[in-house]
Amino acid sequence: MLKPKQAAEHELLIGGVGGWGIVAMGDMLAKAALREYKQVTWFPCYATMMRGGESECCVIFSQERIPSPVIYKSGAVIVLGAWRIKDFVDRVRPGGIMLIDTTGVEEEHKVKRDDIRVNYLPAMETAIHLGNARNANLVMLGAYIEMTKTVSPQLLIDEVEKRFSGRGKEAVVLACKEAFTEGMKLVEKIGEGGQNL
């Protein structure tokens, strides 16, 4: 077991559309974080129509007690689905980061705030290029981990293996791990300043 990090608390809000793996993404992060942090909460929220409806989840991990599993504003926000950007742009704390999948993003969707770091990432495009559009969530998760360094990447890879492994599923696990790794590489290419479309 890894030695716990000394950072106080990290929060992540993930917003998107049901069926895009928003809840699964938060679940994997929470389980990985539980191996490095003393306190972890995972709070999913989705509309009654699972696929195509609004979906979000909140993950908080800390070395100290977490007062509430629910937050309105977060230090980090991930959005998959251009039409959800407007719902989450004001939910990033000043000085925080926002990761947005580029799919469907037009001029009207662009974030105008200058007090946060915004990265537009081709998660869906990357996942499709790798052979499975459903892995766009793992591309975004890899990007988040590379950008924040909050949880060891290996712990996330371990969670991917646990979640997707099984008899005859070696190719599935390999594809998921590749998507996660490619997400990390996307951030490495962008650098520190963020990226605008």
For the cut 90, the answer to whether the pLDDT of residue 181 exceeds it is: yes
Distance of CA 150 to CAs 39, 82, 120, 143, 170, Å? Answer: 14, 26, 20, 12, 28
Mean pLDDT of 137-156: 96
Mean pLDDT of 73-89: 93
pLDDT the model gives residue 70: 84
Order of strands across the sheet that contains 92-101 = 39-46, 54-62, 9-17, 74-79, 92-101, 117-121
pLDDT the model gives residue 76: 97
Please name each of the domains of the chain with its CATH number: 9-189 (3.40.920.10)
Between vectors from CA 162 to CA 139 and to CA 56, what angle results, nearest 5°? 50
For the cut 80, the answer to whether the pLDDT of residue 48 exceeds it is: no
Which of the four pLDDT bands, split at 50, 70 and 90, describes residue 20? confident
φ, ψ dihedrals at 122, nearest 5°: -80, 65
pLDDT one-digit tens code per residue, 29-41: 999 999 999 999 9
Which of the four pLDDT bands, split at 50, 70 and 90, describes residue 194? low
pLDDT the model gives residue 52: 60
Distance of CA 62 to CAs 9, 11, 41, 58, 101, Å? Answer: 4, 9, 9, 13, 27
CA distance 137 to 23: 10
54: β partners: 17
pLDDT the model gives residue 1: 37
Mean pLDDT of 8-37: 90
Query: What is the longest distance spanned by two Cα atoms in the chain?
Result: 49
186 in Cβ contact with 147 (< 8 Å): no
Let me know if 112 is exposed, middle or buried by CB neighbors in 10 A (0-12, 13-18, 19+).
exposed
Percent of the chain exceeding pLDDT 90 equals 67
CA distance 65 to 51: 34
Q: How many CB atoms lie within 10 A of CB 144?
A: 26
pTM of the model: 0.88
Between vectors from CA 53 to CA 101 and to CA 133, what angle results, nearest 5°? 40
Which of the four pLDDT bands, split at 50, 70 and 90, describes residue 153? very high
pLDDT the model gives residue 7: 46
> Which range, of 46-50, 160-164, 178-182, averages the lowest pLDDT?
46-50
